[in-house]
Structure 1
Amino acid sequence: MNSQRDGGYEMNGWMDGIQNAIRYIEDNITEDLNIEDIAACSYVSAFYFQRIFSVLCGVTIGEYIRNRRLTLAAQELSRENDKVINIAIKYGYESPDSFARAFARFHGVSPSAATKKGARLRAYAPLHIKISMEGGTMLEYKIAEKEAFTVMGKSKKFNTDTSYDEIPSFWREHMKSGENQIVCGMYGICMDVDGKIFDYLIADNYIPWNEIPNGYVTKVIPAGTWVIFPCHGALPKSLQDVNTKIWSEWLPNCREYRLGGNYSIELYAPFTENPEDTYCEIWVPIEKL
């Protein structure tokens, strides 16, 4: 297995690392699972692990853990003579009520109903990561060296489990509020990761002689090497399609670079009247192996 080196992460064999992380979850499913400990098994940072996992598996890491726990809890309720509260505590729920609500949403029946013979229950099997080659696809990209630069923007904290739904709302609120007159939204930047929580900035290049308005912040993007992926077409589909290819196709096959810092950038060109003419880019920091 490859290991962390000089703050970056080797990409060779990281698919095996993701599977190691899933195995770790399964082995410790009734314990207090920490995203940093899970990611450490995958040989990538918690920031990148959560992004890669969501793209490859179609669910967030939090959803996966919850689905597996509720599957195993139902199996125990259906075959063992144990109290619901004991099963709830075993699988990380602080009260029978919170367990019952989550259980009913997942299985469509209450925990007590699951103890009865013939109850219909859902099962979410452990994931096994497998990449299949189904013919060549073209993914355009370029490697670029960039000096450090400073951005100014509106910052908000997000949880990785809900960010895909909440960040578009953040953009809509920003554009409708008229604050796009202060920051038009040249960049969307993920950075300052703390476990599942990260800062997302709607930002522009900072002009040093301009005053920083109340509620806005500046951030320095370090100098370094970036791999830049262009996206053509209507948003958010074009961005999401390229993002999926980055994590599921480009990264597994990269042998010259490792992932760099725990941040990534979306660059947006001025919007056009025809959505299909929209252009944007995804920037991922990398380091030479």
Structure 2
Amino acid sequence: MIAALNQLVGLIEDHLTENIDITSLAGSLGTTEYHLRRMFSSLAGMPLSEYVRRRRMAVAVAEVLEDGDLLGIAVRYGYGSTEAFNRAFRAVHGVSPGDVRRSGGPLRTQPKLRFRLTVEGNTPMDTRITDLPAFRLVGQSARVPLIHRGANFAIEAHIASLPAAEHDRLKEMNCTEPAGLLQVSADVDPDYAEGSELLYLHGVAVDKNTPVPGDLHAIEVPAGAWAVFRTAGPYPAALQETWAATATDWFPSNPWRLRPGPSIVAVIDRAPDFSTATSELWLPVERA
């Protein structure tokens, strides 16, 4: 995976002034766009689309400092108007192309990335691979922002709004793995950008033939393999650290890649105040 990401960076560099087809690039690297985007954003700390924009604006500076037509520069870097180019330029550098022409800066250069796998002898991850038949995830859903670290107050508010009887009803419906009440994230931004919106479902897993009550949201999940990561410690910090480690440690070292589908958290045990918990992170995977 590390080699593929470095090849991707090289291909982006060679096509900065062209329409970059990430799907085709992923295929040429022997992986999928879904997995490539998720691994890139996790390791680079920014979405792939943001990196491309930053590199384009970093390289475009040289042309902006000359006397060339700004519309021509905008079109060369994939923008249909000087207004769109100006917005992208200002978002990266904090100033407009006109300001740079007048004063020469300030400029915020995005260096070309290079990915390296560092072996540090970390504690082995408690992981298992399991195959599940098709099933359904059913429960109460809400649209919430994606938060990489710390508490997600929108999720907390959603769960708190549910009466105790609803939790009991959902628990009684559970009839297949993953067991228990689940925290489900679906319809996630391909670049996994923080602050982007996702569908959060507080619910349970049922078999594919279980009828779904009309007041519940249902997510159909196809048959396939799942990587299950067990973690224990401060909540949600330990879980979020494990999630990050899947990208930095586990996927680069194992012959699996993410496939499209929801991610699931099953809380196995927890302190009364939820300050600590033992949980399982379920990620849909396929052979790389």
TM-score, normalized by length of structure 1?
A: 0.76
Deviation at 1:53, TM superposition (A): 0.5
Among 83, 86, 93, which residue is 2:69 paired with?
83
Letter of the 1:239 partner, please give it. Answer: L
**Which residue pairs with 2:158 in the alignment?**
174
Letter of the 1:103 partner, please give it. Answer: F
Instruction: Supply the distance in 2 between the matched residues of 1:38 and 1:169 (Cα, whole angstroms).
Output: 37
Asked whether the equivalents of residues 232 and 238 of structure 1 are also in contact (C-alpha less than 8 Å), the reply is: yes
Deviation at 1:219, TM superposition (A): 1.0
Question: Secondary structure of the residue that 2:230 maps to in structure 1?
Answer: strand
Instruction: Supply the distance in 1 between the matched residues of 2:43 and 2:191 (Cα, whole angstroms).
Output: 20
Structure 1 alignment gaps of length 5 or more = 1-13
Question: Secondary structure of the residue that 1:115 maps to in structure 2?
Answer: helix
**Which residue pairs with 1:213 in the alignment?**
214
**Which residue pairs with 2:36 in the alignment?**
49
- Asked if residue 276 in structure 1 is aligned to residue 270 in structure 2, the reply is no
Asked whether the equivalents of residues 146 and 198 of structure 2 are also in contact (C-alpha less than 8 Å), the reply is: no
Going from structure 1 to structure 2, the CA distance change for 1:209 and 1:54 (only over 3 Å counts) comes to closer
Deviation at 1:95, TM superposition (A): 2.7
**Which residue pairs with 1:15 in the alignment?**
2
Asked whether the equivalents of residues 37 and 190 of structure 2 are also in contact (C-alpha less than 8 Å), the reply is: no
- Asked if residue 112 in structure 1 is aligned to residue 113 in structure 2, the reply is no
**Which residue pairs with 1:240 in the alignment?**
240
| Aligned Cα root-mean-square deviation (Å) | 3.5
- Asked if residue 63 in structure 1 is aligned to residue 50 in structure 2, the reply is yes
Greater than 6 Å deviation, 4+ residue runs: 155-158, 191-199
TM-score, normalized by length of structure 2?
A: 0.76
Q: 1:118-152, CA deviations, whole angstroms, 9 ceiling, x for partnerless residues?
A: 42211101111111223343322123343432222
Deviation at 1:215, TM superposition (A): 6.7
Deviation at 1:232, TM superposition (A): 2.0
Structure 2 alignment gaps of length 5 or more = 172-180
Q: Percent identity?
A: 24
Among 26, 29, 32, which residue is 2:13 paired with?
26
Going from structure 1 to structure 2, the CA distance change for 1:179 and 1:30 (only over 3 Å counts) comes to farther
Among 123, 144, 148, which residue is 1:137 paired with?
123
Asked whether the equivalents of residues 155 and 199 of structure 1 are also in contact (C-alpha less than 8 Å), the reply is: no
Q: 1:221-243, CA deviations, whole angstroms, 9 ceiling, x for partnerless residues?
A: 41x43321112234442222112
Going from structure 1 to structure 2, the CA distance change for 1:179 and 1:195 (only over 3 Å counts) comes to farther
Going from structure 1 to structure 2, the CA distance change for 1:174 and 1:44 (only over 3 Å counts) comes to farther
Going from structure 1 to structure 2, the CA distance change for 1:220 and 1:194 (only over 3 Å counts) comes to same
Deviation at 1:86, TM superposition (A): 2.1
